[in-house]
Structure 1
Amino acid sequence: MGSFSAAHWLVVLIVVFILLGKNRLSETMTDLGKGIRSFREGLTGEDVKPEPTSIATLPMDPRSADEQT
């Protein structure tokens, strides 16, 4: 009776999602990410920036290379 099961946490997450909505939840997660990044910068004293990921830098699927030849 003292601990929460996975079903309890699922209900809590659904209620939070309904109350905050999609856009507000997205903004909250963005702000949380910025806060964590700022905290890391404060600890290390350096700028911590995520590496940009583009399609050109992603590894190519070997099956698609065989199909092109």
Structure 2
Amino acid sequence: MFGSLGFTELILILFIVLIIFGAGKLPQLGEGVGKAIKGFKKSVNEAEAVDLEAQNIADQQAQAQVSPQSTDAAPSPATAPQSDQTVSPVQATQPEAVETPKS
């Protein structure tokens, strides 16, 4: 959590804070730091919620734009061009029997 800070360094920092602010102000200082952290987390969560909502709206708009385009791409049978040519059916033929030489 604190990276390269060891136990001794943390104790030294806490001792210096105690000397600077005094024992009476430490609870107030802790409360202020706690409120600041809580406010920061709340802001981050709200920003993530706004980002997710904007992303969902963008996805829905993209799907709405793709759907009409896909139906326009396939021609309906009524508009498909008809050919006037008729094709005669092909008759199947039997293949000729081939004799294999015996060795």
Per the normalisation by structure 2, the TM-score is: 0.33
Per the normalisation by structure 1, the TM-score is: 0.45
Q: Which has the larger share of helix?
A: 1
Larger relative contact order (C-alpha < 8 A, sep ≥ 6)? 1
| Bigger Rg, which one | 2
